[in-house]
Each structure stands twice: as C-alpha cells, then as structure tokens.
Amino acid sequence: DQQVKQNSPSLSVQEGRISILNCDYTNSMFDYFLWYKKYPAEGPTFLISISSIKDKNEDGRFTVFLNKSAKHLSLHIVPSQPGDSAVYFCAASEQDAGGTSYGKLTFGQGTILTVHP
C-alpha cells in the first residue's frame, strides 16, 4: 500500500525550461511534505518542504505547490539546469494528536529527472 506515489518514473526536459514533478498521497493525516534530491552514489539531500497549512513555498528556482483537496503536490524547477539531473523523492510526515512527530518519513518511488543542455 503505497501512501505516497510518484507516478512518473522519469522526466526529460530541455535546459532553461520548466520541470514539473508530481506526487500524490492517500493519507489525510500527512501534514508536512518534503522533496529530496539524490545523485548517484550519494545519499538524498533535502531540497524544499511545505506545511499542510500552506499551498505554496518558494526557494530560488524551486517552488512546491500543495493541493490538499486533491492530495497532490508538485515541485517546479524554473529554469531547469543540467545540474538538476537527479532522482527526486517526494516524502510526507504526520504527527499524532499530541502534535508529536512519529519520526517517520514516507517516501514516494522517485522520479528521474534528466535536463538536456
């Protein structure tokens, strides 16, 4: 039962254009969402996050949009650069009724982004 899904295994984009990576989730208790980037032979690195009380968060070329009603989030990269070529993971977290995090991230399957020069 995949609670966080990235339905596009790969995405190919031309340098300078926009990259849009999508993520869907099923657990309505998720309240915090993160994107991680992973290069080959390295561990994932944190990219950007968004709380469920927001619908947009921006950091330089990276913007994450959250649509709670659709249980959907997306990562926009503008403009895309060849150095952005990597695997992108969407992740989600939930807290219990007391506001304590379970300490658990649920990840999607990942999307391989290739940015062509």
Partner 1 sequence: EAQVTQNPRYLITVTGKKLTVTCSQNMNHEYMSWYRQDPGLGLRQIYYSMNVEVTDKGDVPEGYKVSRKEKRNFPLILESPSPNQTSLYFCASSLGGSPYNEQFFGPGTRLTVL
Contacts to partner 1 by CB under 8 A? 4, 6, 9, 32, 34, 36, 41-46, 49, 89, 91, 93, 95, 100-110
Taking the complex as a whole, the smallest distance from the CB of residue 95 to partner 1 amounts, in Å, to 8
Query: Residue 50: how many CB atoms within 10 A of its CB?
Result: 20
- Give the nearer residue to partner 1 in terms of CB position, either 100 or 117: 100
Complex with partner 1: residue 13 or 50, whichever CB lies closer? 50
Q: Please state the closest distance from residue 89 (CB atom) to partner 1, in A.
A: 6
- Residues 91, 5: contact at Cβ < 8 Å? no
DSSP string, 21-61: EEEEE--TTEEEEEEEEE-TTS--EEEEEEETT-SEEEETT
Q: How far is the CB of 43 from partner 1 (least distance, A)?
A: 3
In the complex with partner 1, which residue's Cβ is closer, 49 or 114? 49
CB 76, CB 19: distance < 8 Å: yes
Q: Report in angstroms how near the CB of residue 42 gets to partner 1 at its nearest.
A: 6
First to last CA, the chain: 38
